[in-house]
A and B are shown apart, each in its own frame.
Chain A
Amino acid sequence: MGDMFRSEQMALCQLFIQPEAAYASIAELGESGCVQFRDLNDQVNAFQRKFVTEVRRCDDMERRLRYVENELRKDDIKLPVLSADQEPGAPNPREIIDLEAQLEKTENELREMSANGASLNANYRHMHELKNVLENTEGFFSDQEVINLDSNRMTDPNDPNATQAGAQRGQLAFVAGVIRLERYFSFERMLWRISRGNIFLRRTDISGLCEDEDTGRQVLKTVFVAFFQGEQLKQRIKKVCAGYHADVYPCPSSHAERAEMIRDVNVRLEDLKLVLNQSADHRLRVLNSASKHLARWSIMVKKMKAIYHILNYFNNDVTGKCLIGEGWVPVRDLPTVQNALARGSKRVESSIPAFMNVISTNEQPPTFTRTNKFTSGFQNLIDSYGMASYREVNPALYTCITFPFLFAVMFGDLGHGLILLAFASWLIIKERQLAAIKEEIFNIFFGGRYIILLMGCFSIYTGIIYNDVFSKSMNIFGSGWHNAFNTSTILDTSTHYLQYRPKMSNYKTYPLGMDPIWQMADNKIIFLNTFKMKLSIIFGVLHMIFGVCMSVVNFVHYKKYMSLLLEFLPQILFLILLFGYMVFMMFYKWIVYSDFTDEQALTPGCAPSILILFINMMLNGHQKPLDGCKEYMFEGQELLQQLFVIIALVCIPWMLLAKPLYIMATRPKHIAPPPQSTPGMAAVANGGAHGGSGGGHGHDDEPMGEVFIQQAIHTIEYVLSTVSHTASYLRLWALSLAHAQLSEVLWSMVFANSFKFPNYIGSVVTFFIFGAWAVLTVGILVLIEGLSAFLHTLRLHWVEFMSKFYEGAGYAFEPFSFKSILEVTEE
């Protein structure tokens, strides 16, 4: 059979590589993605490994790359996305040095430009505030003698005129500055307090927002001028200003000087603006040129780092001339690995080629199943429950079909199936473009596109069989029921309903699916219920028998032939004799009991309930039949049932005791002193005794008490599960009923209202009501019911099917592959 029947055979290989060729060989192996390396140095500290300096270099380069990326993001420059064929390979040592130099240069440039930019911006701000101060203080000084008030003007003490003039003028000094508006009011109060009221404060708000240097946010600021007398007060005021983070600016009192200063400041502002723009341009140019290469560089650095991590796993051999590594390789990929090693050696033109040696081991290898894009979705579903043990039978192969089928039994509507099919087809046709979308929920649907495709196809089929298209039936072959009543009966208004009788009205069986007449019948649900319930049990029992039979495959593969007799046989007998017999009864009842028969005992009125028959079989009870009817369906049924029950009851102690007793009998009497323990899977025992209940790994030293208890748990679990899981399959009926009813309610309560409106109004109303109906159909019936049915089907597979045979004790195969590393780091 194909690859998916069981997981692939793995081999443990030793690789011997020359140190010069090591980097290139590992690069080639990373591209091929076939080897899962084992860490041979795991007891060594991370800082003491061989290639620690190289890893540090890579970290450094990554840090620089991150910084550049951040700067790019700040300026909203988009990074071009690389397609798969543009992906660069791992860089060789020469390229690494170039890369490092380039990254360093770019980073330094960017840092320098940032620092310069920051200082230029601060300058610009100060100029701007100064300009505001100068402009806004016009109003303050115009009504004063301006010449007197310059506190910063140095008066020449030797000039008697000046001092005299100063004394005459009355020494009013002022301080001008800018402060944040919200701080102004407490600033004012503080000034008032320290000056004991001898201060005169005026303010003008700056219109528009200014940038605050501490936080970088835009705030409201205001210009203030404080008039005061005396040198001491000036010092105090300056201290208060400093405390309130107000910026003080020198402001000349004479109008002419102010005007000149304003002109000066304006010129400087223009200059600054020019410089700022030019630096912004320069920065943009550097960033743009970096952005072109950034994607390539980051991939190269990531690959390099990965290679050095793997090289750290390698051991040096005794002579120091060769690196030794160990890894798991799928047997089918051994030639690929050989080729990759050869290519690596050739790239560095090494004289001694690397070689690979397969070693045998008792450890449990990782589980690897080769999947294509179709089967990978199903394999994921199974792996989510538990990774299969090494070389265990793989349920994913059958899940490809049984999963969509059981979903469709619950979903069963042709119209909704078409919607699913259309959605999945769109996802598949546009596969390439849609693979680039990173959004999480969309990725979930996109990953399951083949699953959805199959679910849609099977839903269309079950929709045909259930004869349900958006809650309406199709009449393709002509209904099998005809009218048997005459005109007077039908036109009689006192009777509201007539029940067709199969003998009179049914003349043929509808060939494909459910007869369309049932869609209109009042007792549709009664009829469909018996059909769907029986259907669910039939499929459930078959699915479970299939599951138990899968355990045969496992037993044969692991060479536990005795388990066939000790475990499989009682399990399958129990299941078939009880529940298989119930399925047989269902088919028998379908065939034998009818309305067309002459025999009284086989008429519909006498048809026994299968559930009651089954319960009576188990409890050895009896039910008094109605007149003319028989209790049992066929001759000898009572005897047969008793026989089945007895054999089934015998199966229980068989399951419970046979295997532990066998283990006890075949286990060697004197157990050797603590066996040289081989890790992982059991060594082949010397007596052929494979202990081991559930885990599948036997240990000779497990005490018998444990074995008995394990087996008891398994027996109870199995016996109870036959009943509970069989009943659990009735969810196929339940969900299918719910879906059909919801669909019908939606039609009759939403869409049918549009038929009540006549003519043109009707068409407009239909348009809008159709919109509402369509939204509800897709939202509730397809999305919510679909998710619900998906979940139930998953549960049926995981619990009811896989618990019969699945071990799931393996670990996944994670090869060293650049593709997966790059994908992980992209998230």
Chain B
Amino acid sequence: MNSAWLPPIIITCIWAFIGIICPFFARGPNRGVTQCCLMLTAVTCWLFWLCCYMTQMNPLIGPKLSMNEIMIMAREWGNEIKDSMDVVV
């Protein structure tokens, strides 16, 4: 399995668990309300995450950064600036 798909699958599984499995364990006088709330929460939250993920899956534009920011990011986030690279400015 391609490891790039791992995060989406994990997150989908979490919400599926909350929305599909957990309602079976609802007890008490408000059973119906609890089940409904769990399912709705799972659906809405999963869909929200999905939209955000799919927007970034194939981005059509990239971020526009100033030199300072690029250099700070290179230092803090650990991607160094190499001397020669394939550049398409």
Contact = CB atoms under 8 A, between A and B. Distances in A.
A interface residue count range (under 10 / 10 to 19 / 20 to 34 / 35 or more): 35 or more
Nearest to A602: B58
A531 B47 contact: no
Interface in A448-492: 461-462, 465-466, 475, 477-491
B33 A4 contact: yes
B67 A520 contact: no
Contact of B84 (A4, A486, A491, A542): A486
Interface in A519-547: 520-524, 526-527, 530-531, 534-535, 538-539, 542
A590 B32 contact: no
A400 B67 contact: no
B48 interface: yes
B contact residues, range: 35 or more
B74 interface: yes
Contacts of A625: none
Interface string B28-67: 0011111111001100110111011111111111111111
Interface in A1-32: 1-5
Given A490-B71, A491-B67, A604-B61, A514 B56 contact: yes
Contacts of A479: 73, 77
A484 to B, nearest CB: 6
A607 B55 CA distance: 14
Contacts of B60: 502, 593-595, 604, 607
Contacts of A527: 59, 61, 63
A8 to B, nearest CB: 13
Given A484-B86, A593-B58, A523 B51 contact: no
Contacts of B49: 465, 512-513
Interface string A379-414: 000000000000000000110111001000100000
Nearest to A495: B67
B1 interface: no
Given A372-B30, A375-B33, A511-B8, A535 B48 contact: yes
B65 A509 contact: no
Contact of A524 (B34, B54, B63, B79): B63
A509 B53 contact: yes
Given A485-B87, A531-B55, A500 B37 contact: no
A738 interface: no
Interface in B73-89: 73-74, 77, 79, 81-89
Given A5-B32, A401-B44, A486-B84, A481 B63 contact: yes
A497 interface: yes
26 contacts: A3-B30, A401-B36, A462-B48, A480-B56, A483-B79, A486-B84, A487-B81, A487-B83, A488-B83, A490-B81, A491-B67, A496-B67, A501-B62, A504-B86, A511-B7, A511-B11, A517-B63, A521-B63, A521-B64, A535-B52, A539-B44, A539-B47, A587-B54, A590-B55, A604-B61, A607-B60
